[in-house]
């Protein structure tokens, strides 16, 4: 099966390279708990080899005309389309998400590739003629150099494709350090890029753990780091990378709220919450994990309609007919999620639908947690404060819209939020005044399309540039401004002061 191909390798210099560190980590099928492969954990020398390969390829790739770099992206897009199901199957096998969910992940990554195909237009600079006598000024966007991405397990194809297509199209070379839990899809993407015509060494993939990450953060030839993952690790990467003089963007944890106003279309809100809370077993940084139902009547109606749908979730392995939700990624994740549910119950919340202890026939060793709905949660409870990263939805009952908005504002995370209402005034006020990076109005997961940019606020992001869209272009390029004079018979003495163009002959 394609999901197992090249799992036990790195990808350096345009080809698969066996690991030599002597350290391996098992790769599991989360639905069965069975070991289905292993992945090498790179040594410092192996990471250095990948950086050297990227550095050697940089000058030639950076000098390649943007239109030719775009053609590689066009070719890559075509290969992604023809291998769509194979990539999705590799994701589902090692991550556990449903096949439809994995196909959607690949499709969202492809949107960024399509945006990168327009790089000749996106790299256009500004030009001002005659800013002074016979003086013109213009700007250029030039590549940063060798850059790296550190990506999470929950989107092993999409998140890397948020990064390397933009970086490569801008003329950089790239080193990807994907999650060691589901390494097959990133390795497959690298192979397809080589097939698309990307020169050897322009994209390298090194599997590894903290040793590989620290080597990238400290390496003097790496100019920028992109990261998606937990807030604790994001803070570490941002601090260490910046201390080493690197440009860093670190997209981190989240606790995303959905505000439901009394006038909301409840059927729409319930359906939206189902997909946003339980899709991909809640292992999304944009998952809705807290519903703020304004007023007891709104909360009662919401819980009454949602609870039977949660109980009816079809849970199983990704390839079972009609399956809607798979397992969480590891046994440790399963235990952590169940512990949060237990703590919420101990703190006084009402567990309306309990996903603990779920055992599926034939999958007794899988890492399954059932869909969980917890009502009457209060802001001091850990099930509300912390990012659980599992299929757990907490319901809070603020009395007014102002109370709900303040809860969103006060939370430490600021990734995404949504409001469901028919009231344009409430929606406009909410979108304008919450301190959140991405806001949905009657949209539960407000992930921007590829030509806009993705990024949170507060503890959800460190760095000045979001990913993909024009923010991605800005992050992966350095601005250079050129002021040029070509004399044409004008003689002028030395100038000893700054002056504006209007003062110049």
Strands 9-12 and 461-462 come out as unpaired
Fold of the domain spanning 256-441: Aldehyde Dehydrogenase; Chain A, domain 2 (3.40.309)
Strands 203-205 and 173-177 come out as parallel
Q: Give the model's pLDDT for residue 498.
A: 64
CA-based end-to-end distance of the chain: 73
Q: Cα dihedral sign for 104, 27, 16, 169? A: positive
DSSP 415-450: SEEEEE-S-HHHHHHHHHHS--SEEEES-SS-PPPT
Q: What are phi and psi of 314, to 5 degrees?
A: -90, 115
Tokens 């199209």 label which residue? 169
Q: Give the model's pLDDT for residue 261.
A: 98
d(CA 122, CA 102): 29
Strands 24-29 and 34-40 come out as antiparallel
Q: In 24-109, where do the E strands start and end?
A: 24-29, 34-40
Tokens 């309306």 label which residue? 352
d(CA 192, CA 216): 24
d(CA 84, CA 383): 36
379's torsion region: left (phi>0), alpha (psi -120 to 50) or beta?
A: alpha
pLDDT tens per residue across span 243-259: 999 999 999 999 999 99
d(CA 108, CA 168): 18
Of 117, 170, 202, 285, which residue is the catalytic one?
A: 285
Which CATH number is associated with domain 2-252+460-481?
A: 3.40.605.10
Q: Give the model's pLDDT for residue 501.
A: 55
Residue pair 455/466 in contact (Cβ under 8 Å)? The answer is yes
Q: Is 117 a catalytic residue?
A: no
Per run of 10 residues, the mean pLDDT along the chain (length 505 residues) is 58 96 96 96 98 98 98 98 97 97 98 98 96 94 98 98 98 98 97 98 98 98 98 98 98 98 98 98 97 98 98 97 97 98 98 97 97 98 98 98 98 98 98 98 95 97 96 98 85 66 48
Residue closest to 258 by CA, chosen among 249, 248, 268, 246: 268
**DSSP helix/strand/coil, 271:** helix
d(CA 285, CA 105): 13
What ranges in 328-423 are assigned the alpha helix state H?
331-346, 382-385, 401-410
486: how many CB neighbours lie within 10 A of its CB? 7
pLDDT tens per residue across span 366-416: 999 999 999 999 999 999 999 999 999 999 999 999 999 999 999 999 999
Domain ranges of the chain: 2-252+460-481, 256-441
Residue closest to 316 by CA, chosen among 504, 92, 487, 134: 92
Q: Give the model's pLDDT for residue 3.
A: 39
pLDDT tens per residue across span 33-47: 999 999 999 999 999
Strands 146-150 and 173-177 come out as parallel
Q: Give the model's pLDDT for residue 500.
A: 56
Based on DSSP, count helices (H) and strands (E) in the chain, helices before strands: 16, 22
| Letter string b/e over residues 492-501, b meaning 16 or more CB atoms within 10 A of that residue's CB | eeeeeeeeee
Q: Give the model's pLDDT for residue 490.
A: 61
Residue closest to 167 by CA, chosen among 504, 473, 388, 493: 473
């Amino acid at each position: 099966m394609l999901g197992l191909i090249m799992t036990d390798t790195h990808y350096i210099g345009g080809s698969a390279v066996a690991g030599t560190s002597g350290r391996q980590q098992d790769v599991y099928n989360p639905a069965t708990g069975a070991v289905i492969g292993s992945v090498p954990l790179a040594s410092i020398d192996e990471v250095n080899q990948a950086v050297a390969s990227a550095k050697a390829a940089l000058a030639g790739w950076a000098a390649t005309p943007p239109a030719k770099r775009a053609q590689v992206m066009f070719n890559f897009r075509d290969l992604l389309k023809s291998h769509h199901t194979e990539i999705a199957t590799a994701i589902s096998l090692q991550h556990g998400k449903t096949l439809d969910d994995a196909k959607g992940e690949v499709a969202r990554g492809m949107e960024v590739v399509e945006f990168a195909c327009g790089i000749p237009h996106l790299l256009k600079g500004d030009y001002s003629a005659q800013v002074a006598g016979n003086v013109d000024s213009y700007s250029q966007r030039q590549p940063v150099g060798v850059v790296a991405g550190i990506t999470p397990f929950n989107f092993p194809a999409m998140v890397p494709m948020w990064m390397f297509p933009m970086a490569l199209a801008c003329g950089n070379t790239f080193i990807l350090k994907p999650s060691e839990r589901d390494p097959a899809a990133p390795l497959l993407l690298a192979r397809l890029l080589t097939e698309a015509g990307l020169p050897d060494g322009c994209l390298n993939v090194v599997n590894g753990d903290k040793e590989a990450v620290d080597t990238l953060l400290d390496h003097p030839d790496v100019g920028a780091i992109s990261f998606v993952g937990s807030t604790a690790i994001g803070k570490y990467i941002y601090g260490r990378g910046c201390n080493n003089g690197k440009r860093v963007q670190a997209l981190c944890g989240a606790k995303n709220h959905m505000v439901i106003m009394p006038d909301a279309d409840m059927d729409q809100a319930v359906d939206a919450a189902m997909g946003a809370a339980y899709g991909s077993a809640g292992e999304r940084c944009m998952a809705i994990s807290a519903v703020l139902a304004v007023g007891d009547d709104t909360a009662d109606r919401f819980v009454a309609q949602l609870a039977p749908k949660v109980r009816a979730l079809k849970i199983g392995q990704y390839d079972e007919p009609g399956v809607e939700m798979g397992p969480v990624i590891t046994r440790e994740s399963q235990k952590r999620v169940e512990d949060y549910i237990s703590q919420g119950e101990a703190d006084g919340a009402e567990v309306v639908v309990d996903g603990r202890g779920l055992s599926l026939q034939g999958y007794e060793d899988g890492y399954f947690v059932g869909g969980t709905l917890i009502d009457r949660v209060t802001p001091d409870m850990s099930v509300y404060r912390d990012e659980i990263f599992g299929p757990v939805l907490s319901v809070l009952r603020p009395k007014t819209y102002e109370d709900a908005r303040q809860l969103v504002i006060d939370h430490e995370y600021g990734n995404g939020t949504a409001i469901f209402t028919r009231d344009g005034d409430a929606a406009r006020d909410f979108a304008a005044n919450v301190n959140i990076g991405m806001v949905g109005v009657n949209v539960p997961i407000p992930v921007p399309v590829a030509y806009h940019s993705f990024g949170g606020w507060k503890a959800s992001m460190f760095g000045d540039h979001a990913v993909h869209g024009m923010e991605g272009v800005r992050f992966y390029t350095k601005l250079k401004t050129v002021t040029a004079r070509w004399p044409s018979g004008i003689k002028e003495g030395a100038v000893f002061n700054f002056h504006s163009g209007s003062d110049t002959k």
